[in-house]
Amino acid sequence: MINLFKKIAKVLLGRSVIVDIVPPIQFVGWKMATATCPPWSNGGSNALAISFTNCDTELAELIASRKVILSQFRPASVSTEVMQLRWRHYIVYWSATVASRIAGGGDKNFVEMGVCDGLTAWYASRARQALNCGGEFFLYDAWAGMRSDLLTGSEGAAVGSYSYLDIENTKRNLASCGPDKFVYIKGYIPESFSQARNPEKIAWMHIDLNSSIPTIESLKFFWDRLLPGGVILLDDFAWPGYEDTRAEVEKWCENLHLDILQFPTGQALITKQF
């Protein structure tokens, strides 16, 4: 059909035409639309994709039955919001799986900076548990409103954000994902680092703090503790409104000669070479 159209166009116009056929959109969400087949198509076609798809389905059911409460979203739209975050959650799950597999270092500790209701931690914990990677999962959050002295001038509008959070809700949510060894560290980053029992070695770090100062402090504090082959995933890297985070992370990476992998989701990945 397309070739027939091209031939007719050539006769009528006297020249070849380029026909750009846009295939059907497969995914829409998080300000992104893609026409490629996502990992969860038809339930997934490789072990990791299948395992992620099963987790995603289970979480959707827990949300629908209100066994997981995500207070950061309006109750009426929570299922849609989470569905639209699928590509983000697949990258979380993939990075946590890769970090769980790295050789050496004994148990693999995970850390998350910015936990909120435990949504991303839920996926990462499931990936850890699927591979029995041992260790503990340290969860850092203020579970209180964001403080002005930890925000730059351009981030100032975020002061007081997340004041509605309740750590007990996060604990209930994460209790639904299996018997992981969670360590809850409630307090403001970076000062909570000096007040808590922090892991000596880590395999995976997720940073999702919506602010550049604690993001950089987290990178500085944990870089030497990251095992070779370990993974750092940043959530806010390429989003409008988080330019300070991006600029600071890029400067920090440049000093260490680290190459950043940016995703269309706005996330970014850094690994520590063996």
Ligand X SMILES: C[S@@+](CC[C@H](N)C(=O)[O-])C[C@H]1O[C@@H](n2cnc3c(N)ncnc32)[C@H](O)[C@@H]1O
CA 189 to chain centroid, in Å, comes to 19
Q: What is the DSSP string of 24-51?
A: PP-EEETTEEE-SPPTTGGG-SSHHHHH
CB 90 within 8 Å of CB 38: yes
163 C-beta neighbours (distance < 10 Å), count: 11
Please report how close the Cβ of residue 187 comes to ligand X at its closest, in angstroms: 7
Q: Binding-site residue total for ligand X (CB under 6 A)?
A: 19
Tell which one of 90, 99, 127, 141 touches ligand X (CB under 6 A).
Answer: 141
173 contributes a contact to ligand X by CB under 6 A: no
Please report how close the Cβ of residue 263 comes to ligand X at its closest, in angstroms: 15
Contact characters 150-169, ligand X, x per CB under 6 A = x-----------x--x----
CB 216 within 8 Å of CB 249: yes
Tell me which stretch binds ligand X (CB under 6 A): 4-12, 13-21, 208-216, 242-250. Answer: 208-216
185 contributes a contact to ligand X by CB under 6 A: no
In DSSP terms, which residues pair with 4 in a beta bridge? none
266 contributes a contact to ligand X by CB under 6 A: no
Residue closer to ligand X by CB (options 112, 136) is: 112
Please report how close the Cβ of residue 211 comes to ligand X at its closest, in angstroms: 5
Looking only at the bridges linking them, the beta strands covering 202-207 and 226-234 are parallel
Please report how close the Cβ of residue 172 comes to ligand X at its closest, in angstroms: 14
Alpha-carbon span 108 to 225, nearest angstrom: 11
56 contributes a contact to ligand X by CB under 6 A: no
Query: Restricting to residues 66-125, which ones interact with ligand X according to CB under 6 A?
Result: 114-117, 119-120
- Residue whose structure tokens are 């990936």: 127
Please report how close the Cβ of residue 27 comes to ligand X at its closest, in angstroms: 18
**Coil, strand or helix: which one is 144?**
coil
